[in-house]
Amino acid sequence: MTVRAVAAVDLGATSGRVMIGRVGDGRLELELVSRFPHGPVEREDGVHWDFGALYEHVVAGLAEAVRREPAIESIGIDSWAVDYGLLKDGRLIAEPFHYRDGRSARGVEEVHALIPFAELYRRNGLQFLPFNTLYQFRVDGRLADADTALLIPDLIAYLLTGVAAAERTNASTTGLLGVADAEWDIELAERVGVPVGILPPLVDAGAVIGRLCPELAARIGRDLPVIAVGSHDTASAVVAAPLSTPDAAYISCGTWGLVGVELTEPVLTDAARAENFTHELGVDGRFRFLHNVTGLWLLSETVRAWEAEDGAPVDL
């Protein structure tokens, strides 16, 4: 059987990596190409991501992947959820805010004054987290200057290809995707003051987003397509470890811990809402019915503080 090679960009909330995956003969082999730290940076207006550095790490990692494996056929990108970049005429307006920036607390109050959380849950099936994209949008004055909003993996795909699209698994974390039909809830967006024109076309995992722009193909070393994967990192994690029975549960542990099951129908009960269970879309259209718990964030922050104090990296 022919072995096929692909490049994967996997971005977590504290580090990122580029890997080569080789698939064939009933096996999947993974080769780590590069790993790089990243995290929140303080700016005058709040906490952001150093997106410029993150993007350059991605491009450099892809170039190294192609150097090591010239037979790479495509690129896939996943990341953490909820955060986004705003574009105007194809250019990034400013660094994306970090989801732990405190500005979204005001967004929670304003959104819930317009739409009670019980109604939100019936419409989007999403657990309450104060940094959900919906709340961030509500207090982001830059929306008026933007023509497109893209979640982080979609933003990187856009910079690589010039094609704007929103992959559904990650779009389901925004609070603006209908739980009943997996389409943008235009009425909801309008009620909370989100310009509907900034919402890009939705695509499913497996769709070809586009091919590398010529200048990026030259930097990376090959003209490659960028494929929509489960761009929410948990969606890719769960589909990569399929559950053996309908009664099986999963725990995905990273910066956050995600504990849940896969369902074919949403559970929009008062009890599910009260216990703060969410419905995130899976790669195959099923719902990842889960609850967020504290993961490795405290450990990551402790290591970051130690490194800042000692001026030396900590190897766990």
Nearest Cα neighbor of 254 from 7, 2, 13, 4 is 13
Residue 181, number of CB atoms within 10 A of its CB: 8
In the chain, the DSSP E strands lie at 4-11, 15-24, 27-37, 40-43, 46-49, 72-78, 84-88, 91-92, 148-151, 166-167, 202-203, 208-211, 225-227, 250-253, 256-263, 278-281, 287-294
Token match 């719902």: residue?
287
Tell me if 182 sits within 8 A of 230, measured CB to CB. no
What is the 8-class DSSP label of residue 103?
T
Rg (CA), the chain: 19
Strand-by-strand arrangement of the 27-37 sheet: 27-37, 15-24, 4-11, 72-78, 225-227, 208-211
233 carries an active-site annotation: yes
Burial class (CB in 10 A: 0-12, 13-18, 19+), 45: exposed
CA dihedral (61, 62, 63, 69) in degrees, to 10, reads 110
Long-range contacts of 257-260 (CB under 8 A, 24+ apart): 257/292, 257/293, 257/294, 257/295, 258/234, 258/288, 258/290, 258/291, 258/292, 258/293, 259/290, 259/291, 259/293, 260/288, 260/289, 260/290, 260/291
Task: Give the active site residue among 233, 270, 284, 315.
Answer: 233
Nearest Cα neighbor of 235 from 78, 6, 15 is 78
Tell me if 220 sits within 8 A of 213, measured CB to CB. no
Catalytic residues: 233
